[in-house]
Amino acid sequence: MHVSAYATSVQPASLGGLRSAAAEVAGNRELFYSLVRRELALRYRHAPIGVAWALFMPLLTTVIFSLVFTRVVRLDTAAPYPVFAYSGLLAWHFFASTLRAASTSLSAHGSLITKVYFPRELLPLSSLVTALADFAVGAVVLGAMMAVFGIRPTVALVFLPVVIGVQVAFTAGLAFLLALGNALYRDLRHVVEVVLTLWMYATAVLYPVDRIGGIIGGVLQVNPMTVIVEAHRSVLLYGELPATLPFALTALLSVLVLAGGWLVFHRGEGDLAERI
Amino acid sequence: MNRSGAVGITVHAVSKRFVIGGRPETLRDLIPAGVRAVIGRRAPPRAERWALRDVSFSIGPGDTLGLLGPNGAGKSTLLRILSRILRPTTGHVEVRGRIAALIELSAGFHFELTGRENVFLQGAVFGLSRREIAHHLDAIVDFAGVAPFIDVPLKRYSTGMVARLGFAIAAHVDTEILLVDEVLAVGDAGFQRKAIAHIRRLVRDGRPVVLVSHNLERLAELCSRALLLRDGRVAAAGTPAECIAAYIAGDDLPPERRNGRPVHIGALSLRSAPSMRCGERLMLHLAGVVSPRPSECRTTVAVRVRALPSEEAVFRTDAVACGAMLPESGAFNLEIGLDMNVGPGFYRIESLVGEPDSTSEWARGPTLLVRVERRPATVGRAYLNPAMRLLGEP
C-alpha cells in the first residue's frame, strides 16, 4: 500500500507554531520565486525603462531637496547633501514601497486565495522581495554617487547585511499586519499612505534629526526608522558601525515586530478565503 | 477502513458556518459600529448559515468518491475544506498525501503574461518545482494543444484554450489525491474525453479521487462510492446508484396550486415502469377537474419533460395539440403516451395548466421522475431509433 510522506491536518483556526508556518513557507519557495518573478516581469514589461523608473522618484526627490538644502537653506550634514539624501531615500523607499505593495497584496489576489491553497505569507513577502530588487538597483546608483563625491567605503561595509536584515525584519512584520488588515478593512491602505508620508518627515531621511531638541526631537530619535536609516549611512558613508545601544534596541524591536506580525497573520489567514 | 498512514482523507465531524453580512468591511464601517457600542445600542443582526453539518467520511487507496446534491448543499464548501482553502468551524480533516485540487484551473493565471510564463507560475501554484515544469513543458503544451501560441500573452487566448492549458498543467502534477469540482463541464467533447481518460488513469493507479459533478451518469460510471449532501448534512452514503436514487427521489417538486384557474390537475400517475430503455414508450395517467366558471382564455393541460439535474426542458406538448379536448366542466381522465427518444439519464415529467401551443404556465400539477437507461452500443443525448441493413449484391 502506498504510504505518503505528506500529511496535513485541516483544523479550526488555532495559534499554530511559527516554526511549522516557516517550514511551510520554505516548502513553497518555488511558488515564491514565481510570484516575485511575475511581479518583476509585469512591472518591467509595462515600463520599458523599468529599471530607470525604480530610480526616478528617489533621484528626483534628491535633486529637488539638494537645491533647497544647498541653495536656499544651508544644511549641515556629515556627508555631501545629495549622497546624504539619496542614501536616506533609498532605505526609506525600500520600507515604504514594501508596505504600500504589501497592503494590497492579499486583497489584489482574491481569486487566487479563494481558489487555491498556498501559504498566504508568500504574497506580502513577495512584495518585500520585489522592493528589495529595486533597492539593489538603487544601491548601484548610490555607489556611483559615492565615487563622484569621493567617498570610500571602509571595512564597516561588512555590517551592511546586518542593517538590511534588521530593516527586513521590521518591514516584514509590519507588512504582515498591513496585508491582513487591508484584506479585512479595504480602506486601510489610504490610512497607510497618510501615515507613511508623515512617518517619512519624522525620520532622518532628508535632514538629520539629531539636533532637534525637545519632545519632538526625542520622538524622532526613538523612531526605529531613524535608527535604521542612520545605520545605513554609518556603514556606507561614515565608515563606522551604528551607535550600539539604539541599534541593538531597534534590532530587538524588529525581531519582536516580525514575530508578532507573523503570529497575527498566521492566525488570521485561515479565514481569508471567506472574508476577501 | 484505512490503515493509518495509507494515502487518503479522513473527515471527522466537520461543520462549517458562514456569517453573512453584519461584519464591517472598511474602517469607515467601524465608526458607526463603535458609536453603537458606546451608546449601548445593539449591532444589526448577522445571518448565519451552516454550509456543512457534522460531515464524516473517509477514503483510501482505490476509492473514487462522488459528491452529489442540489446547489447549495455544501459540495463545493466540502471540497474547499479538503483542499485547505477554508478551515472548518468544528471538526477536523486528516489528509495523508499530496493533494491536487482541480477546482479552479485558471486561478493562478495572469492574463498579461505569456502562456509559457503562466505554465511556470501555475505549475508553482500546484506545487511543482521549476525543473519539473521545464521537464513537462512540451508535454503540457502538447496536451493543451496551444503550441503555436505559447509565447503569446494569455489575454489573446480563447476561453477554451485557457481551460485546456489549466487542465494540462494540473494533469502533470504528480498528485496522490485528486479533488475534482465540475471542471469537466468546460471545454469541448474532445477535451472532456481527454480529461476523463486522465481521471480514469489516476483511479486505475489506486489514487483516491473525490469528484463533484452534476452529471449523474458520469458519476455513476466513474465512482466506486458516493455521498449525497442536502442542506450541509450527509443525506445518504453508499453506492453511487443508491445515492442517485435518494437524490432523485428528494428532487420531486411539490405541486404548486393556484386558485382561480379554470383547470385543476389532481393526480399524475405512471401506467408503465418508472425505468425504461431509450426509445421505449412511457404511459401516464392524468386526472383533473374543469371548474364550471366561464373563462375568457383558452386553457388546457400540458406535460413538460425536463432532463435532470440540468433542468433543461427537452419537450413540451399539450392536450389540444394531441387532439384531446377537455370537457366544458367536470372531472376528466387523460391517457398520455410519450416515446422516450432521449439519451440515458433522469427525467422529470411535469404536468401543468396553461394556454395551448405556448410556454405559459399558470399552475403546476404533480410531477413524476423516470429513468431512461442506455441501450447497448448507443451514445448520445437523443435516441434516434436506428436501423441499418445490408442490401443485396449490386
pLDDT in tens, B183-224: 566 667 777 777 788 888 888 888 899 988 877 777 887 889
Suggest the residue from B50, B78, B125, B203 to mutate for an interface test with chain A (most A CBs closer than 10 A). Answer: B125
CB contact under 8 A, B176 and A45: no
Per-residue confidence band for A51, with pLDDT thresholds at 50, 70 and 90: low
Residue A125: is its pLDDT beyond 90?
yes
Distance from CA of B312 to the nearest CA of A (A): 29
Predicted confidence at residue B383, as pLDDT, reads 92
In the numeric block, which cell numbers belong to residue B250? 428528494
In the numeric block, which cell numbers belong to residue A151? 567617498
Q: Does A14 touch chain B (CB under 8 A)?
A: no
Distance from CA of B232 to the nearest CA of A (A): 17
Q: Does A210 touch chain B (CB under 8 A)?
A: no
Greater pLDDT, B12 or B100: B12
Q: Which residue of B has its CA nearest to A40?
A: B113
Per-residue confidence band for B255, with pLDDT thresholds at 50, 70 and 90: very low
Suggest the residue from A115, A182, A276 to mutate for an interface test with chain B (most B CBs closer than 10 A). Answer: A115
Tally of CA atoms within 13 A in the half-sphere of A119 that contains its CB: 23
Q: Does A26 touch chain B (CB under 8 A)?
A: no
B103 to chain A: which residues are within 8 Å by CB?
A: 115-116
Per-residue confidence band for B254, with pLDDT thresholds at 50, 70 and 90: very low
Does this model's pTM top 0.80? My answer is no
Strands B363-373 and B47-59: what pairing? unpaired
Side chain identity, residue B68: L
Distance from CA of A126 to the nearest CA of B (A): 14
Q: What is the pLDDT of residues A226-272, one digit of tens each?
A: 999 999 999 999 999 999 999 999 999 999 999 999 999 988 887 88
Residue A115: is its pLDDT beyond 90?
no
CB contact under 8 A, A4 and B98: yes
Suggest the residue from B76, B86, B113, B207 to mutate for an interface test with chain A (most A CBs closer than 10 A). Answer: B86
Residue A48: is its pLDDT beyond 90?
no
Predicted confidence at residue B2, as pLDDT, reads 41
Q: Does A2 touch chain B (CB under 8 A)?
A: yes
Residue B372: is its pLDDT beyond 50?
yes
Cα distance between residue A120 and residue A266, in whole Å? 8
CB contact under 8 A, A186 and B25: yes
Tally of CA atoms within 13 A in the half-sphere of B30 that contains its CB: 8
- What is the rounded average pLDDT for all residues in chain B? 83
B87 to chain A: which residues are within 8 Å by CB?
A: 10-13, 270-271
Show Cβ contacts of residue A24 under 8 Å, excluding neighbours closer than 6 positions: A119
Per-residue confidence band for B256, with pLDDT thresholds at 50, 70 and 90: very low
Residue B257: is its pLDDT beyond 60?
no
- What is the rounded average pLDDT for all residues in chain A? 87
Predicted confidence at residue B3, as pLDDT, reads 45
Could you tell me how many CB contacts below 8 A there are between chain A and chain B? Answer: 129
| A161 upstream amide cis, omega within 30 of 0 | no
Q: Which residue of B has its CA nearest to A32?
A: B124
Q: Which residue of A has its CA nearest to B132?
A: A30
Q: What is the pLDDT of residues B151-164, one digit of tens each?
A: 998 889 888 888 88
Cα distance between residue B15 and residue A166, in whole Å? 43
Question: Which has the minimum average pLDDT: A12-21, A170-179, B128-137?
Answer: A12-21
Residue B258: is its pLDDT beyond 50?
no
Tally of CA atoms within 13 A in the half-sphere of A200 that contains its CB: 20
A6 to chain B: which residues are within 8 Å by CB?
A: 95-99, 176
Q: What is the pLDDT of residues A52-79, one digit of tens each?
A: 767 777 888 888 888 888 888 888 888 8
CB contact under 8 A, A117 and B129: no
Of A9, A45, A273, the CB nearest to B112: A45
Using a pLDDT cut of 70, give the percent of chain A over it. Answer: 90
Predicted confidence at residue B259, as pLDDT, reads 46
Suggest the residue from B9, B16, B27 to mutate for an interface test with chain A (most A CBs closer than 10 A). Answer: B27
Distance from CA of A29 to the nearest CA of B (A): 9
B7 to chain A: which residues are within 8 Å by CB?
A: 1-4
Q: What is the pLDDT of residues B86-124, one digit of tens each?
A: 889 999 899 888 887 777 776 678 888 888 888 988 888
Of B28, B29, B86, the CB nearest to A274: B86
Residue B366: is its pLDDT beyond 70?
yes
Per-residue confidence band for B311, with pLDDT thresholds at 50, 70 and 90: confident
Per-residue confidence band for A145, with pLDDT thresholds at 50, 70 and 90: very high
User: In Å, how far are A83, A200, A223, B98 from A160, measured between CA atoms?
Assistant: 17, 21, 20, 41
CB contact under 8 A, A273 and B112: no
Predicted confidence at residue B253, as pLDDT, reads 44
Predicted confidence at residue B226, as pLDDT, reads 93
DSSP string, chain A: --B-S-EEEE-S-----HHHHHHHHHHTHHHHHHHHHHHHHHHHHH-TTHHHHHHHHHHHHHHHHHHIIIIIS----SS-HHHHHHHHHHHHHHHHHHHHHHHHHTGGGHHHHHH----TTHHHHHHHHHHHHHHHHHHHHHHHHHHHTTPPP-GGGGGHHHHHHHHHHHHHHHHHHHHHHHHHSTTHHHHHHHHHHHHHHTTTTSS--TT--HHHHHHHHH-HHHHHHHHHHIIIII-SPPPHHHHHHHHHHHHHHHHHHHHHHHHHGGGHHHH-
Predicted confidence at residue A1, as pLDDT, reads 43
B23 to chain A: which residues are within 8 Å by CB?
A: 275
Distance from CA of B80 to the nearest CA of A (A): 8
Of A2, A28, A37, the CB nearest to B7: A2
Greater pLDDT, A91 or B43: A91
Of B28, B87, B93, the CB nearest to A271: B87
Predicted confidence at residue B252, as pLDDT, reads 45
In sequence order, the β-bridge partners of residue B285 are B269, B335
Residue B354: is its pLDDT beyond 50?
yes
